[in-house]
Amino acid sequence: MANDSSRLRISAVNDVVRIDFVDRDILDEATIRQIGQDIQRKLEPMSAPKVLMCFTVVEHLSSAALGTLITVNSLVKKKGGTLRLAEIRPEILEVFYITKLNKHFSIDESAEAALKALA
Amino acid sequence: MSARIEGHAILRGPRAEIDASQSAVEQAMTQHGYGREALFAVRLALEEALVNAIRHGNRHVPDGQVDFRWSVDGDEARFDVQDQGEGFDPDAVPDPTEDDNLEIPSGRGIMLMKAYMSEVEYRGPGNHLAMVYRKSKDA
């Protein structure tokens, strides 16, 4: 599957769209906007998409990045699909707990666990 | 213990200015022995503070500038971020952790700053943010 953005690596794992972040920092507003647009463009033609977003290399993210994740989740839900997040470092996971977004997202420790849940 | 390190920058908006200030602060904190958790906390809080000031504080100010001053010693790191906007009432910002607000994409910056810093205070009409990170929080 072709890369939709230099900031993301998008691949297909069976019927799951797997999205890996390329950068350690997801902070720059323009980059975050671009990431959101790339993901939306990828998911737009799909029906009931199963999506896995992996944060393996991500060390920092801002509230603007959280906002984009919320927007992507809303889009996926609107289409009757499922979004799961995985491989989030403990420091970043704490941000999800502080903001209580752990209640909003389905979060798995590993990509394998997320793929199993999406199967 | 080495001497207090201070910095001052005028930020006009380009990302490189924020990155340069963040790097200078990180370098000073590392020099004073702050740990990984402290560096993560301050970087996150500063990101929110500086971006808020540039994007929101100065939104209606043509060619607006953000005055950023900081100091780091062995006990604490202090930050002052002042924009040229009219300010705002931080207490009027809805609590993003309320169930009804969880799906709103924006409005989490202030709560993250408060969660990660030892002190967060908006001064004047709300266009001057003062934050402190105490190393004891790092323990």
Q: Indicate the pTM of the whole model.
A: 0.92
Residue A101: list chain B partners with CB under 8 A: 102
Residue A71: list chain B partners with CB under 8 A: 105
* Residue of B103, B114, B116, B117 to mutate for A, most A C-beta atoms under 10 A: B103
Residue A70: list chain B partners with CB under 8 A: 102-105
Q: Which CATH number fits domain B5-138: 3.40.50.10540, 3.90.550.10, 3.50.50.60, 3.30.565.10?
A: 3.30.565.10
Q: Complex ipTM, two decimals?
A: 0.90
Convert the pLDDT of each residue in A22-47 to its tens digit: 999 999 888 999 999 999 999 999 99
Structural domains of chain A in order of their starting residue, each with its CATH number: 8-118 (3.30.750.24)
Residue ranges of domains in chain B: 5-138
Convert the pLDDT of each residue in A51-90 to its tens digit: 999 999 999 999 999 999 999 999 999 999 999 999 999 9
Q: What's chain A look like in SS3?
A: CCCCCCCEEEEEECCEEEEEECCCEECCHHHHHHHHHHHHHHHCCCCCCEEEEECCCCCEECHHHHHHHHHHHHHHHHCCCEEEEECCCHHHHHHHHHCCHHHCCEEECCHHHHHHHHC
